[in-house]
């Protein structure tokens, strides 16, 4: 029996998204994989009953640990996270709250698990603080703005080493505790908040995981990944899909396979993908223009509260 501990961190804006990810993970777990889902959540976060129901609907033995973090218990509360939820930093607290575990697998709420998760969880990271997949931004294309941001970050703060996407992170609890001081001693600009901090603080202490464990599905495989990794992905060998570029519910931009897969797990838990479209639009940050009472919302314009096309 493989005992697997998985961590999600979220607030009320993302509990439904997390529930879909949890459903996908449990649906693809083998009978020999015993999963305990740990949720670190912000005060007032909804979804406990729904997620507990999802877990109970699957194999017996799957468990749920629900922990609410008060502001005073979050030492990263005052970090430069304007526009980001404090829950973004909760994964950094894993070594404090799960000291009884050897390791825990952190998953962003906007992930889909497509295979049994035990193989990833059983990866040996005994000599590393955590394991993660290199970010998929194309750092070898000078026309790729995001790739250039990450490349510059690597040159300045990572000794030209790899930059990792930490939306899927296999955390070594003991090593994190031993090196936690580096998170507070490291001073770098945090554009991608905790991800930048994790990369800079633990440079040289991160195990590179295969691309199949954290694949942005609507992008080609950049050249800094091996041919073997690309061939495996092209053959359908992905384990975790991560929608940090193109959202699973974005019907116009997302490929049909991924969109249909997300809808499948949404339907399993009684949520429509249209809910996420409306929720994301509602949360989108509005930008003030130089014209009074006019605000920009992505490609739409709000004029005296009425949305019009740009």
Dump pLDDT digits (tens) for 244-270. 888 999 988 898 999 999 999 999 999
The whole-number average pLDDT for the span 5-32 is 96
Predicted local confidence at residue 81, as pLDDT: 60
Q: CA 84 to CA 190: how far, in whole Å?
A: 11
The whole-number average pLDDT for the span 193-204 is 96
Report the b/e string of 226-248 with b at 16+ CB within 10 A: eeebeebbeeeebbbbbbbebbb
CB-based burial of residue 202 (10 Å sphere; 0-12 exposed, 13-18 middle, 19+ buried)?
Answer: buried
Cβ atoms within 10 Å of 187's Cβ, excluding its own: 9
Predicted local confidence at residue 218, as pLDDT: 76
8 Å CB contact between 12 and 31: no
What percent of the chain is modeled with pLDDT above 90?
A: 74
47: pLDDT confidence band, cut at 50, 70 and 90?
Answer: very high
285: pLDDT confidence band, cut at 50, 70 and 90?
Answer: low
Would the pTM of this model clear 0.85, i.e. be above it? Answer: yes
The domains found in the chain, sorted by start residue, are 2-271 (3.90.550.10)
What percent of the chain is modeled with pLDDT above 70?
A: 89
Predicted local confidence at residue 298, as pLDDT: 47
The whole-number average pLDDT for the span 15-19 is 96
Q: CA 235 to CA 266: how far, in whole Å?
A: 25
* CB within 8 Å of 194: residues ≥ 6 apart: 76, 88, 89, 91, 92, 166
- pLDDT, one tens digit per residue, over 75-112 is 988 775 667 788 899 999 999 999 999 999 999 999 99
Predicted local confidence at residue 279, as pLDDT: 83
8 Å CB contact between 268 and 27: yes
Tokens of residue 5, six digits:
């501990």
Predicted local confidence at residue 57, as pLDDT: 92
Whether the per-residue pLDDT at 202 is higher than 50: the answer is yes
- pLDDT, one tens digit per residue, over 151-160 is 999 999 999 9
Predicted local confidence at residue 295, as pLDDT: 45
Predicted local confidence at residue 245, as pLDDT: 82
Residue (of 40, 37, 9, 32) closest to 22 by Cα position: 37
Predicted local confidence at residue 273, as pLDDT: 84
Whether the per-residue pLDDT at 61 is higher than 80: the answer is no
Q: CA 91 to CA 107: how far, in whole Å?
A: 9
Neighbouring-strand partners of residue 240: 113
Predicted local confidence at residue 1, as pLDDT: 86
- pLDDT, one tens digit per residue, over 109-162 is 999 999 999 999 999 999 999 999 999 999 999 999 999 999 999 999 999 999
* CB within 8 Å of 43: residues ≥ 6 apart: 68, 69, 70, 71
Tokens of residue 106, six digits:
């952190």
43-47, 212-216, 257-261, 296-300: least confident range? 296-300
Predicted local confidence at residue 302, as pLDDT: 41
The whole-number average pLDDT for the span 36-47 is 96
Whether the per-residue pLDDT at 297 is higher than 70: the answer is no
């Amino acid at each position: 029996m493989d005992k697997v501990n998985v961590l999600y961190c979220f607030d009320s804006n993302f509990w439904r998204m997390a529930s879909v990810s949890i459903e996908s993970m449990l649906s693809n777990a083998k009978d020999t994989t015993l999963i305990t889902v740990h949720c670190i959540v912000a005060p007032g976060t909804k979804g406990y009953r729904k997620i507990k129901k999802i877990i109970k609907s699957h194999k017996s033995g799957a468990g749920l640990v629900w922990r609410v973090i008060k502001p005073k218990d979050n030492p990263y509360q005052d970090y430069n996270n304007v526009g980001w939820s404090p829950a973004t930093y909760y994964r950094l607290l894993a070594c404090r709250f799960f000291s009884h575990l050897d390791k825990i697998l952190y998953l962003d709420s906007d992930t889909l698990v497509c295979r049994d998760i035990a193989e990833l969880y059983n990866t040996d990271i005994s000599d590393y603080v955590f394991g993660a997949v290199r970010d998929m931004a194309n750092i070898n294309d000078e026309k790729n703005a995001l790739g250039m941001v990450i490349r510059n970050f690597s040159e300045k703060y990572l000794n030209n080493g790899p930059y990792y996407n930490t939306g899927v992170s296999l955390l070594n609890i003991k090593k994190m505790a031993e090196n936690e001081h580096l998170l507070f001693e490291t001073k770098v600009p945090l554009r991608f908040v905790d991800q930048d901090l994790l990369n800079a603080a633990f440079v040289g202490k991160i195990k590179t995981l295969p691309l199949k464990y954290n694949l942005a599905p609507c992008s080609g495989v950049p050249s800094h990944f091996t041919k073997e990794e690309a061939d495996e992905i092209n053959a359908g060998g992905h384990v975790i899909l991560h929608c940090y570029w193109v959202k699973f519910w974005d019907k116009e931009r997302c490929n049909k396979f991924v969109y249909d897969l997300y809808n499948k797990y949404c339907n399993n838990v009684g949520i429509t993908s249209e809910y996420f479209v409306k929720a994301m639009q509602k949360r989108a940050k509005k930008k003030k223009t130089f014209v009074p009472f006019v605000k920009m919302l992505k490609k739409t314009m709000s004029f005296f509260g009425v949305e019009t096309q740009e």
